[in-house]
A = this chain, B = another copy of it.
């Protein structure tokens, strides 16, 4: 029995290559291709496919966000994430969110195709190099969702007062989160905080 699959990938050529490879396997029906995260979410919501293959970095919503929404609207859909340059933190979040498979764009096509077939069959596929990265992320993480939100706001250049307004809390609360972030990351300045967060993939530009 053929499996329905949707693809989300903002680079048209990559999407085309992926479609071609999956088509040749003869076990997948590609029911839709999205060029950004928003499209991907609504596509999954509408078609409830057996399988979704998502690029990690996309305009609108990234692969992680799409994964979470997919889980909400179509829990039976098996989700694979494809990424070019994986950061440990993000991979950790993906695993935590229950992703079914992770693939690197520079892997051999056969590896990826085989992996996707395995995922469609119900397996979980996490390559060794990714698993290593995730292990490393586990030790460094420990930040709460709220703290990450504050981190993102800081990266946008907002002051405590502005962040407070944006998140609907007092500036003092933001200050608390900021202090906690500093302590957890082991730094004492906004600059170091940002550099570390970028290096660890907690935020991006």
Residues on A facing B (Cβ under 8 Å):
10-18, 20-21, 35, 57, 59, 84-85, 105-109, 112, 154-159, 187-192, 194-195, 198-199, 205
Which residues of chain B are near A15, meaning CB under 8 Å?
17
Taken together, the copies of this chain in the complex come to 2
Other 19 A-B pairs with CB < 8 A, given A16-B20, A84-B84, A198-B198: A10-B105, A12-B106, A13-B14, A13-B17, A14-B105, A15-B17, A16-B17, A16-B21, A16-B109, A17-B20, A57-B84, A154-B191, A155-B191, A157-B188, A157-B189, A157-B192, A157-B195, A198-B205, A199-B205
13 contacting pairs across A/B (C-beta < 8 A): A11-B84, A12-B105, A12-B112, A13-B112, A14-B14, A15-B17, A16-B20, A17-B20, A154-B191, A156-B191, A156-B192, A159-B189, A191-B194
Nearest first, the 5 closest Cβ-Cβ pairs linking A and B are A157-B192, A17-B17, A13-B17, A16-B17, A11-B105
Give the complex CA separation of A145 and B107 in angstroms.
34
Partner of A13, one of B105, B190, B195: B105
Which B residues touch A187, using CB under 8 A? Answer: 157
Q: A12: which B residues are within 8 A, CB to CB?
A: 17, 105-109, 112
Task: Give bound CA distance, A13 to B108, whole Å.
Answer: 9
Most buried by B among A16, A18, A57, A156: A16
User: What are the residues of chain B within 8 A of A205 when measuring CB–CB?
Assistant: 195, 198-199
Q: Which residues of B contact A108 (CB under 8 A)?
A: 12
- Chain B residues contacting A194 (CB-CB under 8 Å) are 191, 194-195
